[in-house]
């Protein structure tokens, strides 16, 4: 038994937050589900089940979203809760119980006191707020706490430090893929939990958002539905119908040869491992599979590396020294126009291409990745200074995008505005040596008129 637990706790994906042996009189193993909201292909859930089987104890999953997560609103929580009934059903197939609660009954500490677990396993999440929750929990709990890096393929800790660019992280990731890019075990629990009859738990199929105090300023979008089943449907549609040709057409927003998986990855409804294995097994040309996997693994995990090792990941200070110098040099340059945040939010600029991208984001909760770069760089050009541009881009990104408040989004803004993971380019006004994008040059690479027609359809507010 102890050998199995030691092996689990020393896995590179596992961080032991609170040390010690599992409580011998504990009633169960608790999996504190937060970021990885799925019942399959989930290394944190697998670790909890394997630990419970070694201890001859049952497993219970505890999920308790909070309404005051920074920039979280009705759009985000609607997508999140659409996946909860599937979680309950999937866990039942693995002989795992599920307790779902809402604020103010969300406390892991209180739940731990109620059920007296032997061990608690949680998700790793390098974002500032969730990381602080894990640190506080480790201090207050009386049983061991492990967290598992379950939303990247290669455990972030193996990279050891901040990586400068894609070309530095790529070989490091590639060196570990043989070990981690393998089908998951998805074990089943051997022992069922005898849930106390007095234990509070909401029904997964109930109206989970009714009467819940949260920011309702941004409406849900009907074009998206959360949950693992829908995420898998989107994945297999992409693999069958859009992956072929991805290497040359992914930067064509009007034809949209993207996977559209980012919201499902953000909420943990689908695993990047699931996505990578499906792409590997597909019949698409090798160059298309290689191009997509580089985006999914190299660039996505570079974003997680940024958040893990740079506390300024969501603000102007995360830029490299060369970027700060060149932007400071041009801080006093005359801007062609300056827009207030409200004007940008309402797509009230002179640039129809930019307005179309902003409207796509506000109306659908998603923006094509190529347009995100153009969108952020124009905010830099139209703001009083780079720091204000950065704040505006983060605010709009987090408010409207279903995949906002995510390492990928912050890395994209950092690349666009402060040259993160990029190199100095030819010097020009306002941008200095930051890479520049114009509507004219961008429009030569894809049918921008068609993109505008698709998205510039009506006023938003």
Q: Mean pLDDT, to the nearest integer, of 136-140?
A: 96
- Higher pLDDT pick, 198 / 124: 124
Question: Mean of the per-residue pLDDT values for the chain?
Answer: 95
d(CA 76, CA 80): 6
Query: How many CB atoms are located within 10 Å of the residue 101 CB?
Result: 19
Q: Mean pLDDT, to the nearest integer, of 165-184?
A: 96
Please state, for a pLDDT cut of 90, what percent of the chain lies above it. Answer: 88
Q: Is the pLDDT of residue 35 over 60?
A: yes
Helix boundaries (H) for 39-73: 43-55
Instruction: Map out the domains of the chain with their CATH numbers.
Output: 2-150 (3.40.50.620), 228-309 (1.25.40.80), 316-455 (1.10.579.10)
Nearest Cα residue to 21 out of 136, 109, 118: 118
d(CA 92, CA 161): 39
Per-residue pLDDT tens over the stretch 356-397: 999 999 999 999 999 999 999 999 999 999 999 999 999 999
Q: Mean pLDDT, to the nearest integer, of 428-451?
A: 91
Q: Is the pLDDT of residue 460 over 60?
A: no
pLDDT given at position 56: 97
pLDDT given at position 3: 80
Q: Mean pLDDT, to the nearest integer, of 11-28?
A: 95
Please state, in angstroms and as integers, the Cα–Cα distance from residue 440 to each residue in 13, 250, 381, 424, 429, following that order.
46, 19, 15, 22, 17
pLDDT given at position 458: 53
d(CA 412, CA 434): 14
Per-residue pLDDT tens over the stretch 139-152: 999 999 999 999 99
The pTM of the full predicted model, rounded to 2 decimals, is 0.96
pLDDT given at position 4: 82
Q: Is the pLDDT of residue 255 over 90?
A: no
């Amino acid at each position: 038994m102890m050998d199995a637990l030691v092996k689990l706790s020393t896995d590179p994906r596992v961080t032991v937050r609170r040390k010690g042996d599992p409580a011998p009189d504990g009633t169960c193993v608790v999996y504190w589900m937060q970021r990885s909201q799925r019942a399959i292909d989930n290394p944190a859930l697998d670790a909890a089940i394997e630990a419970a089987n070694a201890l001859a104890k049952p497993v219970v999953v505890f999920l308790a979203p909070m309404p005051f997560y920074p920039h979280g609103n009705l759009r985000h929580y609607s997508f999140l809760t659409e996946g909860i009934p599937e979680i309950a059903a999937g866990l039942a197939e693995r002989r795992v119980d599920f307790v779902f609660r809402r604020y103010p009954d969300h406390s892991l500490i209180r739940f731990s006191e109620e059920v007296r677990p032997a061990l608690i396993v949680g998700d790793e999440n390098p974002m500032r707020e969730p990381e602080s929750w894990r640190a506080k929990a480790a201090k207050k709990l009386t049983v061991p706490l492990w967290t598992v890096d379950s939303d990247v393929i290669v455990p972030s800790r193996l990279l050891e430090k901040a990586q400068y660019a894609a070309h530095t992280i790529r070989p490091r990731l590639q060196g570990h893929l043989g070990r981690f890019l393998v089908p998951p075990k998805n074990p089943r629990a051997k022992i069922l939990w005898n849930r106390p009859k007095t234990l509070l738990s909401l029904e997964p199929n109930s109206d989970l958002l009714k009467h819940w105090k949260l920011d309702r300023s941004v409406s849900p979008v009907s074009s998206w539905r959360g949950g693992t089943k829908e995420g898998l449907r989107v994945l297999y549609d992409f693999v069958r119908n859009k992956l072929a040709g991805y290497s040359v057409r992914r930067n064509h927003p009007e034809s949209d040869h993207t996977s559209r998986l980012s919201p499902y990855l953000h909420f943990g409804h689908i695993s990047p491992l699931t996505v990578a294995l499906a792409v590997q097994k597909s019949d698409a040309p090798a160059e298309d599979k290689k191009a997509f996997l580089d985006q999914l693994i190299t660039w996505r995990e570079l974003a997680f590396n940024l958040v893990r090792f740079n506390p300024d990941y969501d603000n102007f200070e995360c830029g490299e020294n060369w970027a700060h110098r060149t932007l400071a040099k041009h801080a006093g340059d005359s801007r062609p126009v300056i827009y207030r945040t409200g004007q940008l939010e309402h797509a009230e600029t002179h640039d129809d291409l930019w307005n179309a991208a902003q409207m796509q984001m506000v109306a659908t909760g998603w923006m094509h990745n190529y347009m995100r770069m153009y969108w952020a760089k124009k905010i830099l050009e139209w703001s009083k200074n780079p720091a204000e541009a950065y704040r505006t881009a983060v605010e709009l990104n987090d408010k409207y995008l279903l995949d906002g408040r995510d390492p990928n989004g912050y890395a994209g803004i950092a690349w666009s505005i402060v040259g993160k993971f990029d190199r100095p380019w030819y010097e020009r006004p306002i941008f200095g040596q930051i890479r520049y994008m114009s509507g004219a040059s961008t429009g030569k690479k894809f049918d921008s008129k068609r993109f505008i027609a698709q998205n510039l359809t009506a006023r938003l507010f």
